[in-house]
Each structure stands twice: as structure tokens, then as C-alpha cells.
């Protein structure tokens, strides 16, 4: 196994890695809408937060040598399921290659720093 670390995504704030490469798979930890340059949650609603989360995931995936086309599974955590439609618009603008990843979307009571969204993913690297 090998840890993935990039300064282009928020730094891990606990005993975990931004991602782990295990064989041909990359397991990305959940990303929240933190601007890696400022360390602060970005301003805006679910659309802006979704865009930042995907940018953070892309940075981690790039460091691992893959991109969104390699993602096979995503898990999306929303603070409010009423945000699903707006989040899904941003998601579909970024995950454009078929077959699309398998996905689970879950509403949760609370997310770190009271953000609106967190996304984790698994990617495959041949």
C-alpha cells in the first residue's frame, strides 16, 4: 500500500491519508469543500461546495496518476437531501464518461465544519 498526498487538496486533519493506493485501486478519503490554499470552507451553497469537493478529489486522483474517468464508485454525503438535484447537476458536469461510477447518496445529520456535502471515491488504475 502507498499513501497519496498533495498540497492541492486539503490536508488530512487526523490519522488518515488523502488516499491509499492498494494494488490497482485508489481509495480516496472523503473531501469536503475546503479551499486548500486558505484552509477555509468556501462561500456559497450546494453548487459551489460540490464544485470545490470535486476539485479536491481531482487533485488527489491526479497525484495518484488517474482522473475522474477512473472512478468506479462514489459515496456522497449530503446534509440535506433537498440539495440532491443541484449537487447532481454539478456531478453530471464532471463525471461525463460512461460507464458512470456506481454511487450511493446518503443524507446525514451533520458533516465536519457544518459543510453541505462530502464525497469519497474509489478509482481503478490499470
Q: Can you give the pLDDT at residue 14?
A: 87
Domain extents in the chain = 2-124
Taking the whole predicted model, whether its pTM rises above 0.75 is answered as yes
Residue 110 has pLDDT above 90, yes or no: yes
**Is residue 81 scored above 90 in pLDDT?**
yes
pLDDT exceeds cutoff 90 at 126: no
> Topology of domain 2-124, per CATH?
60s Ribosomal Protein L30; Chain: A; (3.30.1330)
What's the pLDDT score for residue 26? 98
pLDDT, tens only, 83-98:
999 999 999 999 999 9
Task: Answer yes or no: is pLDDT of 12 > 90.
Answer: no
Helices (H), 64-108: 84-94
Please write the tens of the pLDDT for every residue from 15-62. 999 999 999 999 999 999 999 999 999 999 999 999 999 999 999 999
64-80 mean pLDDT: 98
Q: What are phi and psi of 36, to 5 degrees?
A: -65, -20
- CB neighbour list of residue 117: distance below 8 Å, 6 or more residues apart: 32, 33, 46, 49, 50, 53, 76, 77, 78, 79, 83, 87, 111
Amino acid at each position: 500500500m502507498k499513501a497519496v498526498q498533495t498540497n492541492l487538496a486539503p490536508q488530512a486533519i487526523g490519522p488518515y491519508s488523502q488516499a491509499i493506493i492498494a494494488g490497482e485501486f485508489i481509495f480516496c478519503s472523503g473531501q469536503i469543500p475546503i479551499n486548500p490554499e486558505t484552509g477555509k470552507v468556501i462561500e456559497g451553497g450546494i453548487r459551489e461546495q460540490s464544485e470545490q469537493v470535486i476539485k479536491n478529489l481531482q487533485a488527489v486522483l491526479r497525484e495518484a496518476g488517474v482522473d475522474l474517468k477512473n472512478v468506479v464508485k462514489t459515496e456522497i454525503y449530503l446534509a440535506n437531501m433537498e440539495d440532491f438535484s443541484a449537487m447532481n447537476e454539478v456531478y453530471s458536469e464532471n463525471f461525463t464518461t460512461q460507464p458512470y461510477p456506481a454511487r450511493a447518496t446518503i443524507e446525514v445529520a451533520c458533516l465536519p465544519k457544518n459543510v453541505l456535502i462530502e464525497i469519497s471515491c474509489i478509482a481503478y488504475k490499470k
